[in-house]
Structure 1
Amino acid sequence: MNSVYITSIGKFLPGSPVSNEEIEDYLGKIGGKSSKTKRIILEKNQIRARYYAMDKEQKSLYTNAEMAALAIRDALERNEDVSAHDIGFLATGTTRADLLLPGFASMVHAEADLPVMEVSSHAGLCASGMQAMKTAYLQVKSGEHEAAIACASEFLSREFKHTKFEAQSIYSDSRVPFDTDFLRFMLSDGSGAAILQHTPASKELSLRIEWIDNKSYANQYDVCMYSGMSKEDGIPSWLDYASIHEAADRGALNLKQDVRLVNEITTVGSNRFLELVKEGRIDPDAIDWMVCHYSSHFFKEEIFRLLEAGGVTIPNEKWFTNLYTKGNTAAASIYIMLEELLNEGHLSEGQQVMCIVPESGRFQTSIMMLTVVGPA
């Protein structure tokens, strides 16, 4: 089995940073009224800026696939050892692709102008980016391919256009419920991509992937974050409505989060981390950087509490996030965080970087161990 190294990481963040005061200039005010949810959600998540891939007229400036391709281009331009024609495998992750079919990887493959290659699409929520990473990692580790790309991209702002909700008769006499409205002030757009090879970069630092642990707990929990069904209607799929129009009118295609379940995400993620400590796969004292994707500052404090209750304390100065300045880009967040760590000089040879991505869809946790290595 080969060692596997992340030899370069690229990102793409569309447009200029959007402040808290500007959010509804882009997403619009539903029914002409500012959201009552906005203030309390922004206080809890503490996000100060994010990026949107649409303008204030709610016109899309890119497709999701285009943003993924731009992140891939950035990663390739930063890599002196490979070109596009050296890549044999592409794995992608996203919450909502531009099309229902074909798979997102096929669309990104074409948009990025890559050569004929093997591709793999991962659909879901935040964990889909790490699923793409593990698939690419295993391809290189097994020797099936010498170089691969893993990427994740999100275009979530267009989910929350005010016109979308104003057209739904279910909300014509009432405000959009909290389980949907609060997500308008949580999620944003962006993409990231990583080049994986079986040798480290010749001139720059690389990240050796020691292991990736992906676990689903869907057998233990109900659906929490979802789109394509209505818990209120008791209809299991949008395809079971009499028509697509009825499904849309009933809000079944909206992105929602069951707020009664969402706090379980910190429990699931912390428990898996503590299990890996007990198994001897993680030495908390050896961790130099804790790169954790959390959707809100509120969850960071809860993670600290749960880890300390389990006997593990990782000092605050070891935790890294750019949630507050780059926004919550879901599946792309872990790539965008690692890109900043690697490309802006935060890392040193020999350091250990622990990456954690919890997902509340039906509850998953992805944990990845990296070691910083010097040039080959």
Structure 2
Amino acid sequence: MFDVYITRAGKYLPNEAVSNDEMEGILGMINDTASKARRIVLRNNGIKSRYYAIDKKGTITHNNAQLTHLAIEQLYDENFTKNDVELLSCGTSAADNLFPSHAAMVHGLMENQSVELNSSSGVCCAGMNALKYGFLSIRSGNTKNAVCTGSERSSTWMLAEKFNNEVVNLKKLEEQPIIAFRKEFLRWMLSDGAGAFLLESEPRGEVSLKIEWMESFSYAHELDACMYAGGDKLEDGTLKSWQDYTPEEWLKESVFSVKQDVKLLDKYVLDKGSDSTKTALDKHGVDYRDVDYLLPHVSSNFFATRLYNSLLERGIDIPEDKWFMNLSRVGNVGSASIYLMVEELMNSGRLKKGEKLLLIVPESSRFTYSVSYLTVC
């Protein structure tokens, strides 16, 4: 078995940072009415700025594959070019197309040579799943390097025009033309961007991160879906697929909007994440006191203190001065968020050889979690 190192990290955040006051001007007002939920959601999530692949005139500037490719290009130098890539492993919540795969579309933009491809679906853990594929490939000797990515283009899902037909339908039914909170909530939470890692079997440069281990956990066997798109949840908790709706219903009921069951999120996301973290640390015999940096992907600062308390209840006391987060500056970028945190810390000049990083990534879609442990080399 071979050691695996993150030797370079890159990112791409499109256009200029968007402030809280600018969001609705870009995404648009549903039913020409300012959102009542926006200020409440933003006050709780603590996000001050984010990035959209839409300019301030409303023009779409990048698709998901383009964002990913631009992040990958940050990995190249005179010692590693696009023609040296052996494996491309890409994770995202929503690819540009149902098929071809996201990785195939990104590879098409690279214009290099034939490589092995992997596309990981899911939501926030899609990026970690893509990373694990690359990690296992190098660890087993299948390849000597891998480019792994996490990326999102959520903004176009949240444009007001995507909800207009539902509002019109509600008016026809003489109901209040107000979009359900489970649909509007995520309009003020999600943003766009991409991160990329170069994985190799030897360290390179001033700072490399050795991946000691990666663990993943799913609780879909006991919990219903919490975050979903391309369908809707029925009263019995099952999801009805977009394929089982008529084309007219796709628009009338905003079937393709991203939805969140906030009650389920609040009830389970922290406890299952803390359980998973403790299980992973115990399995590998890691003492939490050895952790120098905790990088938790949280969708909202509302959960940060509660996550600390939840970990503490399980005997894991990692003080908040060891936490590294950039949520307030870049927003919640789903599967790219952990890449953006690692990239920023890795290139900050703060890391010292021998320090340990613990990554925790929750995915609320049907409660999946990824935990990883890194050593600075």
Check whether TM > 0.5.
yes
What CA deviation, in whole Å up to 9, does each residue of 1:341-373 have, x standing for no partner?
011212111100111100001000100110000
> 1:128-167 maps to which residues of 2 (within 5 A)?
128-167=126-165
Contact 1:94 1:125 in 2 (8 A): yes
Range moving further from structure 2, 11-20 or 171-180: 171-180
Aligned residue number for residue 336 of structure 2: 332
Deviation of the 1:310 alpha carbon: 1.4
Describe the shift of the 1:369–1:56 C-alpha distance in structure 2 as closer, same or farther (beyond 3 A): same
Aligned residue number for residue 4 of structure 1: 4
What CA deviation, in whole Å up to 9, does each residue of 1:289-308 have, x standing for no partner?
00010000011111111111
Secondary structure (helix, strand or coil) at the match of 1:260 reads helix
Aligned residue number for residue 185 of structure 1: 188
Deviation of the 1:100 alpha carbon: 1.1
Amino acid across the alignment from 2:185: F
What CA deviation, in whole Å up to 9, does each residue of 1:279-335 have, x standing for no partner?
353211000000010000011111111111112211111000000001110000000
Describe the shift of the 1:293–1:114 C-alpha distance in structure 2 as closer, same or farther (beyond 3 A): farther
Contact 1:76 1:195 in 2 (8 A): no
Aligned residue number for residue 13 of structure 2: 13
Aligned residue number for residue 212 of structure 2: 210
What CA deviation, in whole Å up to 9, does each residue of 1:235-255 have, x standing for no partner?
6211012x3332232222111
Stretches of structure 2 that go unaligned for 5 or more consecutive residues are none
Aligned residue number for residue 369 of structure 2: 365
CA distance in 1, matches of 2:239, 2:102: 27
What CA deviation, in whole Å up to 9, does each residue of 1:191-227 have, x standing for no partner?
00000000110x3210000011011111010010001
Aligned-residue sequence identity (percent) comes to: 40
Aligned residue number for residue 71 of structure 2: 71
Contact 1:66 1:112 in 2 (8 A): no
CA distance in 1, matches of 2:310, 2:24: 35
Deviation of the 1:171 alpha carbon: 4.2
Deviation of the 1:230 alpha carbon: 1.4
Amino acid across the alignment from 1:142: S
Contact 2:280 2:371 in 1 (8 A): no
Secondary structure (helix, strand or coil) at the match of 2:294 reads strand
Stretches of structure 1 that go unaligned for 5 or more consecutive residues are none
CA distance in 2, matches of 1:246, 1:207: 48
Given candidates 283, 305, 311, the residue that maps to 1:307 is 311
Aligned residue number for residue 287 of structure 2: 283
Amino acid across the alignment from 1:260: K
Describe the shift of the 1:114–1:220 C-alpha distance in structure 2 as closer, same or farther (beyond 3 A): farther
Aligned residue number for residue 321 of structure 1: 325
Matched, 1:344 2:355: no
CA distance in 1, matches of 2:325, 2:160: 30
Amino acid across the alignment from 2:208: S
Contact 1:160 1:184 in 2 (8 A): yes
Aligned residue number for residue 25 of structure 1: 25
CA distance in 2, matches of 1:26, 1:316: 34
Residues paired across the two proteins, number: 369
Matched, 1:239 2:237: no
CA distance in 2, matches of 1:171, 1:196: 51
Contact 2:297 2:337 in 1 (8 A): yes
Describe the shift of the 1:285–1:235 C-alpha distance in structure 2 as closer, same or farther (beyond 3 A): closer
